[in-house]
Amino acid sequence: MGCRTALVTADVNAIGRLSCNPAVGGMAKGQLVCEIDALGGEMGRLADRSGIQFKMLGRSKGPAMWSPRSQNDKDLYPRYAQERLREIAGLDIIAGLVEDVRLENGAVAGVRLADGLAFACRTIVVCSGTFLCGRMHTGEIQTAGGRVGEFSVEHLSGSLREVGFVTGRLKTGTPPRVDAASVDFSLCQTDHGDPEPIPFSQSTSSVRNRIACYLTSTSEATHKILRTGFDRSPMFTGKITGTGPRYCPSIEDKIHRFSEKESHQIFLEPEGVETNSVYVNGFSTSLPRDVQLLGLRSIPPLERCEVLRYGYAVEYDYFPSYQLHLWLESKRVRGLFFAGQVNGTSGYEEAAAQGLLAGINAALSVRGEEPLIIDRSQGYIGVLIDDLVNLTILEPYRMFTSRAEYRLLLRRDNADLRLTDIGNRLGLVDGEQYARMAAKREGTEEARDLLQKIALKGRSDLAGEDRYVKGWQYLKRPEVVLADLLPLLPEHDRLQRLLANRDVAEQMEIQAKYEGYIKRQLEEVERFTASENVLIPEAIDYGRIQSLSSEAREKLSQVRPRSLGQASRIAGVSRSDVSVLSLYIR
């Protein structure tokens, strides 16, 4: 976006490192990656280049649930990420640890590094993942660090607390890695990628599968072994005080919370094409090493497994995100932005989405332009950030399709149609990517128009021997797919050519089948937009509105919503509180 930028990182060679599962996407997360791509971000392209297995999850449900996922080569992804960064003009990559943020008159003025170097700047994005006062736990062993073999940043969060920021502690974990040569894959169920894999990025023409993954499960014998280590587990002894992710719990947490279950699924996922490392997905743990090994070897395919790296938990500082505006700038310090796990999220995709938006808005701030806010009706990115600012985050936040009330509009297949215009306006989308989206949009509109006009005649399964039915109406039938319609259009060459485009054909299938539901959601979006357009004066004193509940006054004063719509989504603000606030604003 034309700004001079610097990336300060402890280890330049660790940029892009997939420290947890080397996978990108998944349910709802895949939609985030497609939205990042539509805005001009890199994640989808990197995932396509380094992907070794691709699957579309949720295919048994409607298109709102279809979510792409890739297993990625753990060596190639960071290599490509670092190569890409080195190509970017105006970006300096600096090895170092930021210890302090320098402020002047309530605004960012620069940073100071641990080695004494200082840099002046007008905006800063803090995107430090799990590295702020990071502590790694394996059994009774605790070491400082945000990731195995890497530093912990000890002073930055403390310096920000000194100027009034609130911090908390969260926890995440990772499972063991085992040697592929020591695994009996014949005892597993093989999990192949899709026969015709679909890439994340609109810039990628095709991707291919290069590996298979494997499915097995724990048993009651496994659970019995793991329970013997509970008295040395930092989760149960109180050494870990941070809250872990409810939707991706450790194996010991699953055994403890779901004691009635006799087994839990385990996925064995190769970490690359030139490595013997296998990721034991579903076995995240901070149990002692001896217990981890015995537990793994109680699973038949892993009976003789050799562990390359034991699982561990990492606990770290985060900044509760009610302290941020919807454009991820701090409410306390101008020019200071936060993105990623420091905002209380989990997952690469959530972090990437925030990083892109924070970076965009940092650049817009330097330009003196209005910030970019993506709302809940425009993208999962909007849902993510809106939830972070308005909800009370007490555990790592993970994106799900169920969090998006307009998810039928926020599909993977139309992310480019929704957001590429924004990326183009910001200068982040190149001409080729924009032209591809424009051709898809125009082709979709023309094909729909032709299908609504073309009449099919003379088939009893359509409308009777002497009746006509429009092509669009025929396609709406649940049992009809586009392939059934094409043979009925021999004289319509233009429509045939349009529907030969996979993207246009997919839009026709979805738009026809779900037209009524899509129309209903668009009407809901109109009502949503109306409440979003009722702005709340910045200087409003919620303490003076006596008809509000005490909890609502507290939460509204804390979050400082921009609009009546945002106020209605704050945890602790009831419908009656919103009505009172609406009357007061009028």
554: CATH: 1.10.150.570
Residue 282 belongs to domain spanning: 177-315
For residue 13, being part of any structural domain is answered with no
pLDDT band at 31 (very low <50, low <70, confident <90, very high): very high
pLDDT tens digits for 70-97?
999 999 999 999 999 999 999 999 999 9
Average pLDDT of span 280-302: 96
pLDDT band at 237 (very low <50, low <70, confident <90, very high): confident
Q: Given this model, what pLDDT does residue 468 score?
A: 75
Q: Given this model, what pLDDT does residue 461 score?
A: 57
For residue 502, being part of any structural domain is answered with yes
Give me the residues paired with residue 468 across strands. Answer: 457
Instruction: At 235, list the tokens.
Output: 């989760």
508, 537: one domain: no
% pLDDT > 90, the chain: 85
Cα 200 to chain centroid, rounded: 13
Strands (E), 202-326: 213-217, 265-270, 277-281, 307-309, 312-318
300: CATH: 2.40.30.260
Distance between CA 26 and CA 400 in Å, rounded? 9
Q: Given this model, what pLDDT does residue 466 score?
A: 54
Of 300, 315, 330, which residue is a domain's last? 315
CB 134 within 8 A of CB 142: no
538, 482: one domain: no
Q: Given this model, what pLDDT does residue 392 score?
A: 82
478: CATH: 1.10.10.1800
pLDDT tens digits for 514-559?
999 999 999 999 999 999 999 999 899 999 998 999 999 999 999 9
* H/E stretch holding 95: strand 91-95
Does residue 464 surpass a pLDDT of 90?
A: no
294, 197: one domain: yes
For residue 237, being part of any structural domain is answered with yes
Of 298, 315, 332, which residue is a domain's last? 315
287, 202: one domain: yes
% pLDDT > 70, the chain: 98
Average pLDDT of span 137-152: 90
pLDDT band at 2 (very low <50, low <70, confident <90, very high): very high
For residue 117, being part of any structural domain is answered with no
pLDDT tens digits for 154-171?
999 999 999 999 999 999
Confidence (pTM): 0.94
555, 449: one domain: no
Strand 91-95 to 5-9 pairing: parallel
Distance between CA 365 and CA 329 in Å, rounded? 10
Please, what's the b/e burial string for 425-462 (b: 16 or more CB within 10 A of its CB; e: otherwise)?
Answer: ebebbeeebbebbeebbebbeebbebbeebebeeeeeb
Q: Given this model, what pLDDT does residue 19 score?
A: 85
For residue 238, being part of any structural domain is answered with yes
Largest CA distance in the chain: 86
Distance between CA 482 and CA 33 in Å, rounded? 28
pLDDT tens digits for 376-427?
999 999 999 999 999 888 889 999 999 999 999 999 999 999 999 999 999 9
Distance between CA 88 and CA 85 in Å, rounded? 5
Average pLDDT of span 282-302: 96
For residue 212, being part of any structural domain is answered with yes
pLDDT band at 457 (very low <50, low <70, confident <90, very high): low
Distance between CA 402 and CA 399 in Å, rounded? 8
310, 194: one domain: yes
Q: Given this model, what pLDDT does residue 224 score?
A: 96
545, 497: one domain: no
For residue 23, being part of any structural domain is answered with no
Of 458, 484, 513, which residue is a domain's last? 513
CB 339 within 8 A of CB 328: yes
226, 282: one domain: yes
Distance between CA 176 and CA 278 in Å, rounded? 9
Q: Given this model, what pLDDT does residue 393 score?
A: 82
Query: How many domains does the structure of the chain reveal?
Result: 3
Burial of 35 (0-12, 13-18, 19+ CB in 10 A): buried
pLDDT tens digits for 99-126?
999 999 999 999 999 999 999 999 999 9
506, 540: one domain: no
281, 190: one domain: yes
Q: Mean pLDDT, the chain, as a whole number? A: 93
Q: Given this model, what pLDDT does residue 487 score?
A: 85
222, 190: one domain: yes
Q: How many CB atoms lie within 10 A of CB 143?
A: 13
List own/partner pairs for 19-23 with CB under 8 A and 24 or more apart.
19/147, 19/148, 19/174, 20/172, 20/174, 20/348, 21/269, 21/279, 21/281, 22/71, 22/72, 22/73, 22/74, 22/77, 22/269, 22/271, 22/272, 22/279, 23/69, 23/70, 23/71, 23/72, 23/269
196, 245: one domain: yes
Which residue is listed with tokens 């990108």? 24
For residue 24, being part of any structural domain is answered with no
